[in-house]
Structures are given as structure tokens and as C-alpha cells.
Amino acid sequence: MKSVNDTDAWAEALLNSATELEKQPLPSGSYEKIVSKIYRRKSEKTPFGWVIAVAAVFLCLIGLELYLTQYSPEEPNTELVELIPENNNHLYDE
């Protein structure tokens, strides 16, 4: 098992090795590129025309739904009536 001193010495050696690294030069104009990307994302908004188009389509779909549910045919669907059995209580002698 390693002692605490060995672990401390290893950590110190690791931290000291990082201080010996050379700093890499930053390409010119990189700060401006980063700042421009930040402000560009803030300025990107959904165009108002798209919002109006989506709202119009949504209202048309709601109107179609209301039209189809209100103005259903008056006569019942015969196929649906055949599927639903008639209630009778002949089994219970009533």
C-alpha cells in the first residue's frame, strides 16, 4: 500500500510538470470570432412570417376538425350498428 507521502509527492510532480509546458500562441482574431458567434446566436430569431404561417395552418386544422365533428351525417353507420350487439336479458329470465 502506498503511503500518503508517496501520493503527495506524485501529485506535486504532476503539477510541476504542467508548469513546464509551453503556452501555445493564440491565432489572431480568435477573440473577435468568439464574440461574434455569441452575439450572432442572440440575434437569431424565428422570422415573424413563419410564426404567422404556422398559426394559420394550425387554425385551419382546428377549423377542419370542428367542421368534421359538427356536420356528421344524420343516418347512423350501419356497419357500426351491426358490430354492437343488442342488449337482452333472456339469459337471466327477466
* pLDDT score for 40: 79
| Average pLDDT value over all residues in the chain | 80
Residue-wise burial string across 67-76, b where 16 or more C-beta atoms lie within 10 A, e elsewhere: eeeeeeeeee
Question: Is this model's pTM higher than 0.85 or not?
Answer: no
Characterise 93 by phi-psi region: left (phi > 0), alpha (psi -120 to 50), beta (else).
Answer: left
Q: Which tens digit of pLDDT belongs to each residue from 54-94?
A: 999 999 999 999 988 887 666 656 666 677 777 776 776 65
The pLDDT of residue 57 is: 97
Provide the pLDDT for residue 73.
Answer: 62
